[in-house]
Amino acid sequence: MTAENDIGIRAAEEFLGPSALADRIRAGPNHEHYVRIEEPEFESAVEHLAANKFVLISLFCCEGFTENAAQTLFYVFERRSSILVLVRGVNGSATSIAGIYPAASWFERECCDGFGVEFAGAFDTRRLFLHETYPEGFHPLKKAFKNAPVLTKDAIDPADEYPFREVSGEGVYQVPVGPVHAGIIEPGHFRFSVIGETIFNLEIRMFYKHRGIEKLAEGKSPQECVRIAEAVSGDESVANTTAFCMAVEKLSQIPVPARAWYLRTILLELERICSHLGDQAGMLVDVAYPLGANQFSVLREECFRENDRLTGSRFLRGMVCPGGLNRDIPKVSVDELAEFARQLRKRYRIGLKIVLSTASVIDRLATTGVIRPALLRPLNITGPAARASGGKVDVRQNHPYGIYDQFAPKPQRLRDGDVLSRFTIKASEIMDSLDLIERLVAAIPEGDVRSDAPIRDGYTLAMVESARGQNLCWVWIKDGVIERYKVRTASFCTWLAIEHAVQGNIVPDFPVINKSLNLSYAGTDL
């Protein structure tokens, strides 16, 4: 895309003026544009972007980016295929934009916990990933803090306990659920305010297993950091590593061999299929229809075994690396994959037919947990959740990476936004991914799967479409090592959608609504 018709640049011209923009704008290596912005223009710029339907897809902080400010805030805006990053230097305090962009609330709280940046005018200033036991004034992402165990509080004064939104009134009672759940799932706390069986309000609290991934990545070489990217979220390993590697490759201008991109794309789509199959099985378990659920659980297991045959890892780990792939997949395995995909499609259709012809299942899924289309932009909801609510967002189409420009997926769109729509969207995406895999296998070229080039310094943004939506990462390499690695998975934004989707539904329907989105707790809690 040329700079002239980039809507991001046009918008920046409108709020800054063409002459002022010229020396403030910098083109990033991956089609993004960075615009330096100062306090006076900031608010009007954000309002202008909001009026022009730009979506705030991320906001993160970093230290030591410029000399004249302690911290630098990066506001990443997206509209269609254009990405505009507002770069703003601050000294410990900034103005909140959560009133204009509700998605900013969690981002700002995250920056505040990590770097101690206060956001004036924010409607929510509670701590986010640092729970009550962490000491006051502790900001782990500051460069001054060396990664080491921190002394946490043993006991918490009741006055310091995390204040949940209070909903009171006749007949309203609170139901606390979690962070320890039945079954084998990750920790998260759900605070319901319920009238009878109807959910009046839900507040979600995450971050029970903060691992300090961003801190851990600092000072590591890109090769070492691949392992960290893989661990961001177990079932999004390929997506997150691909995003990280793409950033490194763009920065260092490493040419990735064609065969490597074909194989990467196959792995990305396999990961999507596994995830969607698991979600569909989960939704059926949650409406107590194990007969249907098992159809999909079995297929998911078969997929994991195929993953294992292809890569030696059920979760496709250890394959993607900067410059391509760590090792090639032999031709015979790739050919077997085509046959596997055909078989899988046949068996999947049978399973799907059983489920979709069961009236009691449809009755449970339809009209349950509606995500209204009006929420998509303010909360930056992406992935199947957005596509089931009429959203036209898919990174593979909006910002095609690798070979997705040649092998375009054909995502379906539905408008209802209920659990049934998400179920149907996921079904169609599984079919689409299987198609894509067959086309890729038929066209895969021979050749190397890896090229090496020296790592260069710089920073850039990379995005991939994971099974759950848009995963974004920003990598800044300084002196050959990672200076800052920021990941924002689709889950981080979509959790808030659940709070809205459950309102007015009954408590026993919560599990199926939650499972229809099946967000990653680990991907949220770095």
Partner 1 sequence: MNLDFFLYLVINTIVVITVSPLFVSLIKKVKAWTQGRQGPSIFQTYFTLVKLLKKEVIYSPNSSRIMRVTPLVTMASILVAALFVPLVFVPETVGGIGNIILFLYLLALARFFMALAGLDAGSSFGGMGSSREMSISSIIEPTTIIVFAALAFVFKTLNIFDMFAISVSTGSPSPSTLILIAISLFIIIVVETSRIPVDNPETHLELTMIHEGMILEQSGRNLALMELSAAVKMTVLMALLINLIVPFGLISALTLAGILIAVFLFVVKGSILAGIIGLFESSMAKKRFFQLPSLFAMAFFFSTLIIIIEVFS
Residue 35, Cβ density class (10 Å: 0-12 exposed, 13-18 middle, ≥19 buried): buried
The least distance separating partner 1 from the CB of residue 299, rounded to whole angstroms, comes to: 12
Interface positions, 155-174, toward partner 1 (CB under 8 A): 174
Closest distance between partner 1 and the C-beta of residue 139, in Å?
A: 35
- Smaller CB separation from partner 1, 122 or 283: 283
Cβ proximity to partner 1: between 120 and 359 the closer is 359
For 221, 247, 291, the CA distances from 31, given in Å and listed in that order, are 24, 11, 47
Locate all alpha helices (DSSP H) within 61-138, ordered by sequence.
Answer: 104-115
Q: Is position 182 an interface residue for partner 1 (rule: CB under 8 A)?
A: yes
DSSP reduced 3-state for 35: strand
Q: With respect to partner 1, which residue has the nearer C-beta, 197 or 335? A: 197
| Residue range at the interface with partner 1 (CB under 8 A); choices 50-58, 214-222, 231-239, 288-296 | 288-296
Size of the site for partner 1 (CB under 8 A): 29
Structure-token pair, residue 12: 């920046």
Strand pairing class (25-27; 32-36): antiparallel
Query: Taking Cα atoms as reference points, which of 357, 253, 340 lies closest to residue 305?
Result: 340
Give the x-and-dash track for 464-503 against partner 1 (CB under 8 A): ----------------------------------------
Q: Are 67 and 120 in contact (CB under 8 A)?
A: no
Site for partner 1 in 411-440 (CB under 8 A): none
- Which residues lie below 8 Å from residue 61, measured CB to CB, with a gap of 6+? 71, 72, 73, 74, 111, 114, 115, 117, 141
How big is the chain by its Cα radius of gyration, in Å? 23
What is the contact mask toward partner 1 in residues 290 to 309, using x (rule: CB under 8 A)? xx-xx---x-----------
d(CA 496, CA 501): 9
Binding segment for partner 1 (CB under 8 A), chosen from 209-217, 355-363, 436-444, 462-470, is 355-363
In terms of CB distance, is 169 or 445 closer to partner 1? 169
414's tokens? 């539905």
- Measured CA to CA in angstroms, residue 236 lies from 175, 317, 421 at distances of 31, 10, 23
511 touches partner 1 (CB under 8 A) = yes
Question: Residue 289 Cβ, how far from partner 1 at the closest point, in Å?
Answer: 4
Query: Residues 494, 381: contact at Cβ < 8 Å?
Result: yes
Q: List the interface residues with partner 1, window 356-385 (CB under 8 A).
A: 358-361, 363-364
**Side chain identity at 204, as an amino acid letter?**
I
- Reading the block at residue 316, the tokens are 């496709």
Binds partner 1 (CB under 8 A): choice among 64, 289, 373, 500: 289
CB of 183 to partner 1, least distance (A): 4
Is residue 43 a contact point for partner 1 (CB under 8 A)? no
Of 197, 308, 335, 452, which lies in the binding site for partner 1, with binding defined by CB under 8 A?
A: 197
Q: Which is nearer to partner 1, 197 or 405 (CB)?
A: 197
Binding residue (CB under 8 A) for partner 1 from 510, 522, 523, 525: 510
Interface ranges with partner 1 (CB under 8 A): 174-177, 182-183, 197, 284, 286-291, 293-294, 298, 358-361, 363-364, 506-511
